[in-house]
Structure 1
Amino acid sequence: MQSKSFPMDQAQQFRELQMQLRDRWQTLETFDLSSADILVVPSLSLDQRELKKVEGFHHYEERLLFSLIRLRNPQTRLVYVTSQPLHPSIIDYYLQLLPGIPFSHARDRLLLFSTYDSSLKPLSQKILERPRLIERIRQSLRQQSYMICFNSTTLERDLALQLQVPLYALDPALLYWGTKSGSRQIFTECGIPLPAGSGLTWSVEELAIAATELWEQRPALRRMVIKLNEGFSGEGNAMLDLRPVQSDLTEATTQKERVSLMRGRFLHLGFQAKGETWENFSSRIPELGAIAEEFIEGQEKRSPSVQGRIAPTGEVEILSTHDQILGGPDGQIYLGCRFPAEESYRLRLQELGRRVGKNLAEKGAMERFGVDFLTVRRPGIESLEWDISAIEINLRKGGTTHPFMTLRLLTNGRYDLSSGLFYSQQGRSKYYIATDNLQKERYQGLLPNDLMDVIAHHQLHFDSGTETGTVFHLMGCLSEFGKLGVTSIGNSPQQAEEIYNKVVKVLDDETQHRANHPAWMSPPELPITWRGRE
């Protein structure tokens, strides 16, 4: 028994709380089918200065609303907390998706709480600052309950401890393994190919030396990527173009001269995030750390990913593979995804993802993980063979989580490891295109109710009979930012694309009068190619 004079360390208390999950559920299947109270705290507990680069980020708390589909289990209760109250029509939209469950029955098992706080602080921090809200949440939960979140930090740990509710998420003591340098270490331990790169640096001078040493190892390098160690969605990446100083680097006689040239090139970094500057970027290095990494060149290049989860028991499950849709100046900003990844490499991704998952499980990790890769078809290699390099590990619910879980919960289907395909209960293979970034200035001013009218009039909704259609999210972003999330589900890649294109056309047509008015003219759009091989 712990002495009252020397209370148990918080980290140890948290680990013991998480152990309750292992005691309650021995397999992933029993965990998924359990009748528990689920507390959803969709806090984006990320660096707020980096997060502000994402338009409408405070509405991203809506991305976990797919969790409401868990109310199809008639014994499940769900508690959802947000910074600001959710629009009633958004809640109604998700509850209407539930197959075979009366709307009123599901609504009675959903409890909504809000902090009524629109500040930039993470939601978990806002909750911790409101002890009476914590008490109301505690009283609403039954004994068998657990908490889920977008990403796990000490804030989520502290909230779980105050509520005495197990957190089904990563222990924040393990967050290092989701950083750029931590990811590289795990790839090395697992024997997974990765780009050449530097160790972690904590100053501009250290970074210049590390980048110089990387060039000295690979003098043919034309470009490098400079990455903040804790950046996300490509927002913390910058492109270092060495071609203008390639001859100068070669002719320099000392490393000191080469470091000076490299440091000078930092002033010309190509930033992925809008409005980013060297002054701001470099000021983050002493706080977050940074690495230099080889930029993998290639004419035919893809950016696939694999997703998995680690059960409370340590069991590793591969959930899905995706081809990511990237944009930005150098194609490093996450815009959306296609499911599944290309047939010629998806099974290989599964195998590499399982290696990473087992390594993470041995380190004590739990719940979601994703691994991003680059695949390049090299000249002279057979047409279906690709070189694969691992780029980073994400230890949180990412942009591919909610579309796949939406598909899984809507269809009650299964992911087939032998093919890398997903099959509904009717035996149909399912495909989708998903994005958080369907954004046009002309969409601004559309209210959630307006969107519901458009969905109903043009029959854009998901049809449970055909198991095709579109599921919308981030609807709170629409009026202010003209931004919307969609998951367009089809029975073939072509059908999924057709459904997605229909959504875009309908929204464009419905807002045509605004596009024709000078005040609503949109800037040129970043072209996104959704097509791929299947």
Structure 2
Amino acid sequence: MADVLKNKDEVGHILVQVQDDLRQLKNNLVRLTVQENGEVLDIQALDAAISRTEHGIRVTLYKSAFIMRLLNNPFHPKNKEIVQQNYGIQLPHLHKRTGASVSSAVSKYPFTIAEGQIDPEDPDYCRFKKQYCLYWGAMVEALDQLERMLLDFAVPLARVCGERLAACVQSGELDWRDGRGRRAHVEKLLSVLENRDEVWDLMCQPGQRYKGIEGHQAAAVCIQTCWRRYSARTAYLLQLRPKWAAQVIAISLLKHAKLGYLKKSLQASRIRQLENYHIRAESLAANWKHITSAKRTIIHVPSLGYSQHQRLSLRGFDVLQNTQMGRLCDIRDENVEVIYVSPVCLGKDVLQYYTRLLGLQTAIELGDASAPESHCSKRFTILMPEALEYFPTRNMCLASLLKYSPRTLQRIKNLIQGKQAYMISGVTHIDDLAVADELEVPLLGTEPAVTQLYSTKSGGRRIFSSAGVDMPPGKWDIYTLEQLHEGLARLMTEHMEVQRWLFKIDSEVGGRGTAYCAACHLKCRPWAQQEFSRYGPEQWRTSQSQESVMIKFLEEVPHLLASYAHPANTSCYATWTCFLEHFLREGGVIEAFPPSDSVTCLTVDLLVEPGGDVRMLSCGDQLRGPSGLEVVGCTVPQTSICPDVLHSICTRVGQACQQRSIMGHISLDLVTFLDPSNLEQQVWAIDLDLGYSNQLAMTQLMLMMTRGTLDCRTSKLEVPPPVRDVNTRMPLSRRLTNRFAVMCTRLLHTNLSLVYYSTFFLMCKAQGIGYDIKARQGTVFALHDSRDRRSLGMLTILEDLQGALLTFARNLSIIHQEISAPNMQGTNNFKDLIKDIEEVLGMTIQNQTTSQEEEITAAESEQLSSHKPHRSTLN
């Protein structure tokens, strides 16, 4: 082994020298003819002999190179086996060195490549060639590739690490045919350079490839390639464009056809549902008296079929739809079964509360709180649609949720199978017809299209106008700014006594879409008032000065509205500009506010029966918030208007509704005040809602808790004594007692969510807030949901109105104090309601004082008149 390693340089050098000499001799030979002993010498034979000798030397060199490669890489286990088997050489066990050790060592055989070419006379190169002569053939191929790369990129100088190059060649890493890609091959070639980073930075410079050998040709090839690619791509896209257009057209036509089919199918379905609604409505009208006197099932779906814009803008819309759980109290009629569909998920606490509350009927009737619970739980069912889980944030109306709840619909079908049933919604929606058609029951309500037309502020004024009832001066169906300015200027001119004007958006509800403006801010108002006083109210309508005043008003109206008009509810419409945008888009009305400091509003619930009759179901004076435009509660029965006058107004409005195919529950809002010109009571109809109201739902709860009767013709709530206390010798009229109720359908307090209902009722019991079953008076609550618990309804019933108001306000104050802390008052409407009740109490006391004074004056007058004949005789 030592001899082989010692003599390898000499043998290799000799063999290489012989190979070079033979190659030089071969190049110098020519075909010669030499005469020697008469024979011709053929040089071709000599050339053949030289080729055979050269081939033998090449084989010897190859074998020697093979042996040296094995000797130079003794770490591979196969190399050790091959050397031992073929040559009898036992290689020692050596520790393998890493690549890091090679690169870190100083190169022994470095050489340079200048301008992409190797100088064969360079001593460093000759020394490198001499060191690795045994496998020089493989080394030449790697050097050619390296030279070609450096020439292509015009690299001025590259320093090659001979050992690293030899290692890469021996391991086969520089084989460009191994399939690793051009980039990987270039990186391997660069790895043998000592100034790799400098060369790489130079090669990465833009356009460096085109500075090298055949750079112009490479640039031309690149340009031609890019152009051809661009041309081919453009031609391909041009060819593809008609195909793409055809696909788009085909897909569009297919979608249009499917959409058209779906629209036609949906339209046909809705037409069929509407036809079935009319057929069932006719049957309901023909059999109404029989149905109301027999056993029946009422399906209550308290759905608010508002527009999508309204539903999305209402916070807590699901709870808002569930403020009418008083509908369950229809079971006070023994012939009625109730199916109530809840728009919120109710927990066991709320379900148990209503089960216990409705089970008090026997105890209330007997006047004994210890009486056993009645078995009314079998006559009411509360269902929650499964679609509540699928659309938790869509603010869908309850009818739509029920439409997409097949399991709930099937359960309702099973409950009403073989029974007379009809459905009562809230504000009817197109999906109410779908649900009623699916259940095959009549809908006690108005057709959705008619509801949308006449439930607006303008639609209500049309009905009031046809019914011949008084309504505030105003104009409706306003959609442009010009109509608004001209209409307001005309109204202010014609009604100089009105100090405040209201603007109401047609589609809004609950006082949300109302703004106001005072006429006193007009600069020409004093002059106009002088003109009005000069002519008087009667001549003013025909005077020529009215037109000049109207022109002046019209000039100032834009500035008046921009500066002094304010929305009543800033949480919905922050500024007049925002309000005006919605007002003109949705349409609206201009309406006069009553010209009086003492104004009372009331709500009357009517039922336009399918048979044609109009019934008054509830009537109450409204309790309003601080703005005076939002209803927060009411007192039942109403005490503001003469019952006969109220009945006349309601009858006319009900008949006008019936003429327009309006059926079912409607809610009428009225306002009454004393006319300052003649001190006569005026009653204006101001709003009409088509649907089941919250006041009516609380009235049902009131009637169940008192077992009484609300007679709207006489505005009296009469309550009979308990069955155990009935005195048969006393006439029935003497045994009846009157009651007054104060009710609020939605008390809001954010701190209520911190208290569980069980704790809340214990707190109320400790503070003396409760209901006396025997006396049939006290306070009852209506729960709305189990999750947020931020709102609830409260009903207080007592023998006199003043006491009911005081108790109601006291309850609010106690609850607020119990659930609040000095640093955590919470958002609520308790304080506003208490303030309004105090104002009502002041007016009630003043009215009672005035009434007592009038009674005393009337008695004295009567006494004096009875003595007049006697005094005349004395005279």
**TM-score band, normalised by shorter chain:** 0.7 to 0.9
Q: Deviations over 1:45-93 (max 9, x none)?
A: 2245445666544212332211222334555433222233113222222
- Which residue of the partner structure matches residue 125 of structure 1? 400
The answer as to whether partners of 1:370 and 1:393 remain within 8 angstroms in 2 is yes
Do the aligned partners of 1:224 and 1:239 also contact (CA within 8 Å) in 2? yes
Aligned partner of 1:85: which letter?
C
Matched position secondary structure for 2:384? strand
Q: Match for residue 430 of structure 1?
A: 739
Instruction: Give 2:609's aligned residue.
Output: 311
Question: What amino acid maps onto 1:454 in structure 2?
Answer: M
**Higher alpha-carbon deviation: 398-407 or 280-289:** 280-289
- Displacement of 1:253 in angstroms is 6.6
- Residue of structure 2 equivalent to 1:491: 799
| In 2, Cα distance between equivalents of 1:138 and 1:46 | 27
* Larger Rg, first or second structure (1 or 2): 2
Question: Which is worse superposed, 95-104 or 430-439?
Answer: 95-104
Tell me which protein shows more helix as a share of its residues.
Answer: 2
The structure 2 residue matched to 1:263, chosen from 558, 567, 575, is 558
Query: 1:159 aligned to 435, 446, 449, which one?
Result: 435
| 1:26 pairs with 2:289 | yes
1:395 maps to 690
- Residue 77 (1) aligns with residue 337 (2): yes
Aligned in 2, Cα 1:48/1:78: closer, same or farther, shift over 3 Å?
A: same
Q: Give 1:244 shift.
A: 1.8
- SS of the residue corresponding to residue 655 of structure 2 reads helix
1:204 pairs with one of 471, 481, 487 = 481
User: Structure 2: how far apart are the matches of 1:191 and 1:284?
Assistant: 30
Pairing 1:189–2:466 present? yes
- One-letter code aligned to 1:16: I
Structure 2 residue aligned with 1:140: 415
Matches of 2:763 and 2:308, distance apart in 1: 34
SS of the aligned residue for 1:436 comes to: strand
Task: Please tell me whether the aligned partners of residues 150 and 396 of structure 1 are also in contact (alpha carbons under 8 angstroms).
Answer: yes
Which residues of 2 match residues 278-427 of structure 1 at below 5 A?
Answer: 278-329=576-627, 331-342=628-639, 345-379=642-676, 385-426=680-721, 427=736
Question: Higher strand proportion, which one?
Answer: 1
Mean Cα deviation higher: 266-275 or 52-61? 52-61
- Structure 2 unmatched ranges of 5 or more: 1-264, 363-371, 529-546, 722-735, 849-875
CA distance in 2, matches of 1:57, 1:6: 31
User: Structure 1 residues 210 and 373 mapped into 2: Cα distance closer, same or farther (>3 Å)?
Assistant: same
- Aligned pair in 2 of structure 1 residues 88, 456: CA closer, same or farther (>3 Å)? farther
Partner of 1:241: 518
Which residue, 780, 792, 806 being the options, matches 1:471?
A: 780
Q: Supply the distance in 1 between the matched residues of 2:644 and 2:787 (Cα, whole angstroms).
A: 37
Cα deviation, residue 450, structure 1:
2.5
Question: Are 1:147 and 1:168, in contact at CA under 8 Å, matched by a contact in 2?
Answer: yes
Kindly indicate whether the alpha-carbon contact (under 8 Å) linking 1:408 and 1:414 is maintained by their aligned counterparts in 2. yes
Residue type of the alignment partner of 1:226: F
- Give secondary structure in 1 for the equivalent of 2:785: helix
**Distance in 2 separating the partners of 1:342 and 1:461:** 26
CA distance in structure 2 between the aligned counterparts of 1:210 and 1:292, rounded to whole angstroms: 8
Match of 2:569 in 1: 273
| TM-score normalized with structure 1 length | 0.87
Q: Distance in 2 between matches of 1:355 and 1:254?
A: 37
Q: C-alpha deviations, 1:258-309, integer Å up to 9, x for none?
A: 5564334433422122321334423333553111112222112111232221
TM-score of the two chains, using structure 2 as the length reference: 0.55
Measured in 2, the distance between the counterparts of 1:168 and 1:460 equals 37
Show the counterpart of 2:301.
41
**In structure 1, distance between residues paired with 2:598 and 2:330:** 40
Query: What do the CA deviations read for 1:308-343 (whole angstroms, capped 9, x no partner)?
Result: 2111211111223211111243x1111111112226
Query: Percent same amino acid at aligned positions?
Result: 20
* Structure 1 residue aligned with 2:447: 171
1:450 match: 759
Letter paired with 1:153: H
Q: Name the CA shift for 1:305/1:68 in 2 (closer, same or farther; >3 Å).
A: closer
C-alpha deviation, 1:439, in angstroms: 3.2
Looking at structure 2, the residues matched to 111 and 418 of structure 1 have their Cα atoms a distance apart, in angstroms, of: 34
Contact 2:338 2:379 in 1 (8 A): no
> Which structure has the higher relative contact order (CA within 8 Å, separation 6+)?
1
Q: 1:213 to 1:159 in 2, by over 3 A?
A: farther
Distance 1:209 1:342, change over 3 A: same
Deviation at 1:399, TM superposition (A): 3.4
Change (3 A) 1:199 1:479: closer
What is aligned with 1:504? 812
Question: What amino acid is aligned across from residue 12 of structure 1 in structure 2?
Answer: E
Alpha-carbon contact 1:478-1:484 (below 8 Å) kept: no
- Whether contact under 8 Å (1:305, 1:323) holds in the other structure is yes
Q: Deviations over 1:336-394 (max 9, x none)?
A: 11112226534322221121112212332222222212211244756xx5221111222
Distance 1:347 1:448, change over 3 A: farther
TM-aligned CA deviation for residue 452 of structure 1: 2.9
What are structure 1's unaligned runs of at least 5 residues? Answer: none
Post-superposition offset of 1:157:
2.2
- Equivalent-residue separation in structure 2 for 1:299 and 1:279 (angstroms): 29
What is the alpha-carbon root mean square deviation over aligned residues?
3.2
Once structures 1 and 2 are overlaid, which stretch shifts more, 488-497 or 92-101?
A: 92-101
* Change in CA separation of 1:139 and 1:281 when aligned onto 2, cut-off 3 Å: farther
How many residues align? The count is 521
Cα distance, 1:231–1:246 mapped onto 2, change above 3 Å: farther
Name the SS for the 1:303 alignment partner: strand
Contact conserved, 1:60 with 1:474, CA < 8 A, in 2?
no
